[in-house]
Structure 1
């Protein structure tokens, strides 16, 4: 008898904190993401902090999307509306495809927690060179919610009816 059960496939993820003020000592959001992804069985292949500068952000993310050993990237910070918030502008030009549903779902989930303030969120996701990229706000709560309510299930091969892991071998098709 054939089993419908799938085995978990651990992925290598990189975490990027975008901040003009955070250091490793006080980067709670980045540390939370690393802790959550490792708790779920994935590997934190790298974790960095860069200033909220679109070119510094783009350099780091470009390095990771060029690395065949990194399957996904999660960023935290720089998704608001202030003059220094530039994560979406930095990363969107790198996308081969935008995952529109991620930002939409993130704001739906956030609405239940923070009401209309969620309209200020510019959470975004996409795929670049076969690497998934998720850009979350800088708050620790937003990182927890984004990971536990959206990203974790989609980066779990056991999630039915479909998940992002099962399409990974086809991301670079031409």
Structure 2
């Protein structure tokens, strides 16, 4: 089963937080605050933070900006993953993915199911990779952000996590774009 190998050195990751909301500002962005607190408590670096309206093009543009930024390794968005007409975060993420991490949504659903039962079917959490940057879209609730960080991302973004983790394959995420 998974574990932290204390003999390995922790490697901080630079993480940008994106809140997707038509109504929230930095002063009342509890889910964004939750993610910032957890990533910094873990020893990672907050690379940037933004709030954008629930508009597909705005979300995708913000993601592309961070993908192009060498100071951002990971983007975690919160909000806009539901089923209503305004929920377009998943579509915006998929507009920029080179590869989708299919199992992220599955594992998130498993974690959620233990907490909220069949209501977990309403989540469309997703993960992917583009330009050597990991991208994750989480629901807008603080509980969902806590669950995703505590039970998935906090572990996978820790280089010491075994048997494997996202950090150890950073150098190979964009190997297909390098010349041989």
TM-score interval (norm. to shorter): over 0.9
Q: Which residue of 2 aligns with 1:55?
A: 57
Give aligned pairs, total: 172
| Aligned mate of 1:151, from 146, 150, 153 | 153
| CA distance in 1 between partners of 2:16 and 2:67 (Å) | 10
Q: Which residue of 1 aligns with 2:123?
A: 121
**Deviations 1:39-86, CA, capped at 9 Å, x for gaps:** 000010101000000011011111000011100000000000000000
| CA distance in 2 between partners of 1:91 and 1:165 (Å) | 20
Q: What SS class does the counterpart of residue 29 from structure 1 fall into?
A: helix
Q: Which residue of 1 aligns with 2:21?
A: 19
Q: Following TM superposition, by how much is the alpha carbon of 1:93 offset from its aligned partner in structure 2, in angstroms?
A: 1.8
1:80 aligns with 2:69: no
| CA distance in 2 between partners of 1:109 and 1:24 (Å) | 28
Verify the 8 A CA contact 2:60 2:95 in the aligned structure 1.
Answer: no
Q: Which residue of 2 aligns with 1:137?
A: 139
| CA distance in 2 between partners of 1:146 and 1:4 (Å) | 23
Matches within 5 A, 1:92-131: 92-131=94-133
Q: Following TM superposition, by how much is the alpha carbon of 1:4 offset from its aligned partner in structure 2, in angstroms?
A: 7.8
| CA distance in 1 between partners of 2:157 and 2:66 (Å) | 17
**Deviations 1:25-47, CA, capped at 9 Å, x for gaps:** 10000011001000000010101
Indicate the RMSD between aligned Cα atoms, in angstroms: 1.1
TM-score, normalised relative to structure 1: 0.97
Q: Which residue of 2 aligns with 1:43?
A: 45
Q: Which residue of 1 aligns with 2:72?
A: 70
| Aligned mate of 2:162, from 136, 160, 163 | 160
TM-score, normalised relative to structure 2: 0.94
**What stretches of structure 2 of length at least 5 have no aligned partner?**
none
Q: What SS class does the counterpart of residue 140 from structure 2 fall into?
A: coil
**What stretches of structure 1 of length at least 5 have no aligned partner?**
none
